[in-house]
Amino acid sequence: MKAFMIERYGDKAGVHAGEVPDPQVGADDILVRIHAASVNPLDLKLRDGAFKAVTPYRLPLILGNDLAGVVVRVGPAVTRFAVGDEVYARPDKDRIGTFAELIAVHQDDVAIKPATLTMEEAASLPLVALTSWQALVERAQVQPGQKVLVHGGSGGVGTVAVQLAKHLGAHVAATASTANVDLVKELGADVVVDYRKQAFETVLHGYDVVLDTVGGETLEKSLRVLRPGGKVISVAGPPDAALARELGLNAVLRLAMSALSFRTRRRAKRRNVTYSFLFMTAGGDQLRTLAPLIDAGRIRPVVDRVFPFEQTREAMEYVEKGRAKAGKVVVAMM
């Protein structure tokens, strides 16, 4: 099969197409013919080797973390799916590789594709929808009437998180650029702060939850908008010891990760709030829960541009250069 891969870390021009063997299908696996996949910042970080110390991969590595496609084979222990099913998924972190014609995925990580979506729309959702669900539902346990701030409201995670938080009954604020203020309002945000014109930390106060997709100074300033007991959950800030435990890392790496987030956690504690880093995990059950919300229009995908599969490297460069106006960039088998 054809796939886009890297031979070594850190080579931006090294993403290339090549022929590789078809995936092996385990007893609990389904083999999916991929119709579309989407590009995430995670793909750029993996290409650059940002996680090679904690999630080592064997090179060459096929990139890609989202998919929508059709089941073409099932393992003997598979009970959830049949040949011909249209599905969407975020494979487990140890089994990525959706920039390819085929992929074998464990049945627990897959869900039937929302019926109202095209393949391209469905492929844009798994990673960002799971991130939003795990942050707002599992980690923050957002309740009706609470106040939630989503940074990067027009980004991949942000567009879904704004809609999910609104569905959960929260009062939702979001940050966005001038060009995307109207879009984020259409997605359900009650308040949109144009970060080019306003400092969000001076106009927002008493929030229960902040979902940080930016990191850096934005993360530090987010501590100021929380009420006592509030939570900031970041997908872009420094990792913490809890992540090291989740990944099963040794004591040295756990200590190193804890040190990376020490200053942020200390500042949070002084304000009587909490900081945690979220490393999204695969979850077919969560995608199955999200599908009815998507089909009902409570959560709609935002797709910026669709590239043909042959232009996967160009699609990654498009994302890396920040050219996407809003939402996700998708590659499709055209």
Q: What is the pLDDT of residue 255?
A: 81
**What range defines the domain where residue 28 resides?**
2-125+301-332
Q: What is the CATH number of the domain that holds 52?
A: 3.90.180.10
Whether 242 shows a pLDDT value over 80: the answer reads no
Domain membership of residue 57 (yes or no) is: yes
Q: What is the pLDDT of residue 115?
A: 98
300: helix, strand or coil: coil
Percent of the chain exceeding pLDDT 70 equals 100
User: b/e map of 252-288 (b: 16 or more CB within 10 Å)?
Assistant: ebbebbbebbeebbeebeeeebebbbbbbebbbebbe
Same domain flag for 268 and 151: yes
Please return the burial class of 302, using the count of CB atoms within 10 Å of its CB with bins 0-12, 13-18 and 19+.
Answer: buried
Task: Report pLDDT digits (tens) over 196-224.
Answer: 999 999 999 999 999 999 999 999 999 99
What's the pLDDT band for 190 if we cut at 50, 70, 90? very high
Q: What is the secondary structure of 211-264 as a DSSP string?
A: EESS-HHHHHHHGGGEEEEEEEEESSS---HHHHHHTT--HHHHHHHHHHTHHH
Whether 253 shows a pLDDT value over 80: the answer reads no
Same domain flag for 144 and 223: yes
Distance, CA of 88 to chain centre: 14
Q: What is the CATH number of the domain that holds 148?
A: 3.40.50.720
- Average pLDDT along the chain: 95
Same domain flag for 246 and 159: yes
Whether 126 shows a pLDDT value over 90: the answer reads yes
Q: What is the pLDDT of residue 329?
A: 98
Mean pLDDT across 54-69:
91
The dihedral region occupied by 145, where left means phi > 0, alpha psi between -120 and 50, and beta the remainder, is left
Question: From CA 50, how far away is CA 32, in angstroms rounded?
Answer: 28
HSE-CB for 38 with a 13 A CA cutoff: 29
Whether 245 shows a pLDDT value over 90: the answer reads no
Whether 325 shows a pLDDT value over 90: the answer reads yes
Same domain flag for 273 and 311: no
Domain membership of residue 285 (yes or no) is: no
Higher pLDDT, 218 or 242: 218
Whether 150 shows a pLDDT value over 80: the answer reads yes
Whether 62 shows a pLDDT value over 80: the answer reads yes
Higher pLDDT, 13 or 191: 191
Same domain flag for 19 and 119: yes
Q: What is the largest CA-CA distance in the chain?
A: 58
Q: What is the pLDDT of residue 138?
A: 97
Question: From CA 148, how far away is CA 162, in angstroms rounded?
Answer: 9
Whether 47 shows a pLDDT value over 80: the answer reads yes
Same domain flag for 95 and 26: yes
Same domain flag for 225 and 305: no
What's the pLDDT band for 160 if we cut at 50, 70, 90? very high
274: helix, strand or coil: strand
Same domain flag for 90 and 157: no
What's the pLDDT band for 125 if we cut at 50, 70, 90? very high
The pair of structure tokens assigned to 67 is: 């998919």
Same domain flag for 251 and 182: yes
Domain membership of residue 293 (yes or no) is: no
Domain membership of residue 159 (yes or no) is: yes
Mean pLDDT across 83-101:
97
Structural domains counted in the chain: 2
Asked if the peptide bond before residue 21 counts as cis, ω within 30 degrees of 0, the response is no
Domain membership of residue 162 (yes or no) is: yes
Instruction: Confirm if 187 and 162 have CB atoms less than 8 A apart.
Output: yes
Q: What is the pLDDT of residue 257?
A: 76
72: helix, strand or coil: strand
Percent of the chain exceeding pLDDT 90 equals 87
Task: Report pLDDT digits (tens) over 295-309.
Answer: 999 999 999 999 999
Domain membership of residue 287 (yes or no) is: no
The pair of structure tokens assigned to 310 is: 């042959």
Whether 256 shows a pLDDT value over 80: the answer reads no
Whether 284 shows a pLDDT value over 80: the answer reads yes
Instruction: Confirm if 298 and 167 have CB atoms less than 8 A apart.
Output: yes
Whether 328 shows a pLDDT value over 90: the answer reads yes
Name the helix (H) or strand (E) containing 129: helix 126-133
Same domain flag for 134 and 272: yes
Domain membership of residue 198 (yes or no) is: yes
Same domain flag for 34 and 175: no
Same domain flag for 63 and 158: no
